[in-house]
Amino acid sequence: MRFPSLFRRASHDMAIDLGTVNTVVYVRDRGIVLNEPSVVALETRDGVSRVRAIGADAKLMMGKTPDNIRTIRPLRDGVIADIEVAEQMIKHFIGKAHGGHSRLPRQPNMAICVPSGSTMVERRALRQAATKAGAAKVFLIEEPMAAAIGAGLPVTEPVGAMVVDIGGGTTEVAVLSLQGLAYSTSVRVGGDKIDDAIASYIRRKYSLMIGEATSERIKLTIGTAKRPERKAGETMRVKGRDLVQGVPKEIEVSESEVAEAIAEQIGQIVQTVLMALEQTEPELAADIVDQGIVMTGGGSLLRRIDEVLASATGLPVVIADDALICVALGAGRALEDKEFSGVLLAG
């Protein structure tokens, strides 16, 4: 099915990768114009809550707010958890993407990325939030398809391609061919669960409580999916609150310890990929042997995760260029190019 009116509209139309951790906005004919944390800070005064900050400004407040301010993520596991706050966040990002104008010349059409495993209720919540935020027409595109288009895979051809998209809330695994998902599955394991695992490990081993921002920083600095050849590997200093004495404390954490902390989450991702390969039709599997597996999403940038996946599957594994923004790039390209119009889901 094609949507000819979609392609005649002016350049206000946009594609949004509304992620658990980051929101990336693509505007027609301009490309990626915004990439900010999906965080909202709410201030409560006299029993009434109002938005204090959104995006990067709100993330700076995480774990450092007084009692009357709380920071929340309106999306969890890739889907909307708080529809009213999500609506305000989308509206803010739309305005910021268009140079800070709260009133646009017209309502834009939007393509919004959704996890392939999301329910009809979850998809309806996304449509509702985007419509209330000012969208004229909302199209959905499944994240693995958007990631494949963004990574430059031949999704319109009769050739099998496998994508592993590791986001903040979910890992999407899909085999694609002829603008469709021949097989897709997802597991609600991503960057957030990896951060949680690091924080839990440090709490258990060192009786030290650390915040979300600190565990994320550990992951980005010395995080690895595979134990280093050297016994401990790189190390970094970590500060938090001692749970025994109740005072601030600093410890040293090693690369090897981080690999141990997140082994279970990496194992779940690998098992999901293996399960997808088991369910793939033989002809498509033959194409994947030639093409290999393409990884996208922020989680694919975790060191040595491609090595772990290649070792488990026996297939070549490639991390896509622009892995962090592949999904938004693909959704934007689907919005602009008639060749991909069949992947947009109207409703």
Query: In this predicted model, what pLDDT tens digit does every residue of 154-174 receive, in sequence order?
Result: 888 999 999 999 999 899 999
64 is in an annotated binding site: no
Look at phi and psi of residue 80 and say left if phi exceeds 0, alpha if psi is from -120 to 50, else beta. beta
Host H or E run for residue 83: helix 83-97
Which of 29-38, 134-143, 228-237, 263-272 is predicted with the least confidence, judged by mean pLDDT? 228-237
pLDDT score recorded for residue 1: 44
Q: Which of 115-129, 155-169, 194-208, 323-337 has the largest mean confidence?
A: 194-208
216 is in an annotated binding site: yes
301 is in an annotated binding site: yes
Inter-residue contact 267 to 283 (CB < 8 Å)? no
296 is in an annotated binding site: no
Give domain 146-189+266-323's CATH superfamily: ATPase, nucleotide binding domain (3.30.420.40)
CATH of domain 4-38+73-144+326-343: 3.30.420.40
pLDDT score recorded for residue 81: 87
Equal fold, 4-38+73-144+326-343 vs 191-263: no
218 is in an annotated binding site: yes
184 is in an annotated binding site: no
Per-residue pLDDT tens digits for 208-221 = 999 988 999 999 99
Half-sphere exposure of 109 (CA within 13 A, CB side): 23
The tokens for 171 are 């890992």
Q: Could you please report the per-residue DSSP string of 245-269?
A: T-SEEEEEEEHHHHHHHTHHHHHHH
344 is in an annotated binding site: no
Mean pLDDT of the chain: 90
- Cα 137 to Cα 14, 86, 149, 335, distances in angstroms: 11, 18, 22, 12
Inter-residue contact 148 to 157 (CB < 8 Å)? no
pTM over 0.75: yes
233 is in an annotated binding site: no
299 is in an annotated binding site: yes
Domain coordinates in residue numbering, the chain: 4-38+73-144+326-343, 146-189+266-323, 191-263
Is the pLDDT confidence value at 341 over 80?
no
DSSP β-bridge partners for residue 240: 249
Q: For the sheet containing 171-177, what is the strand order? A: 180-187, 171-177, 161-166, 293-296, 317-319
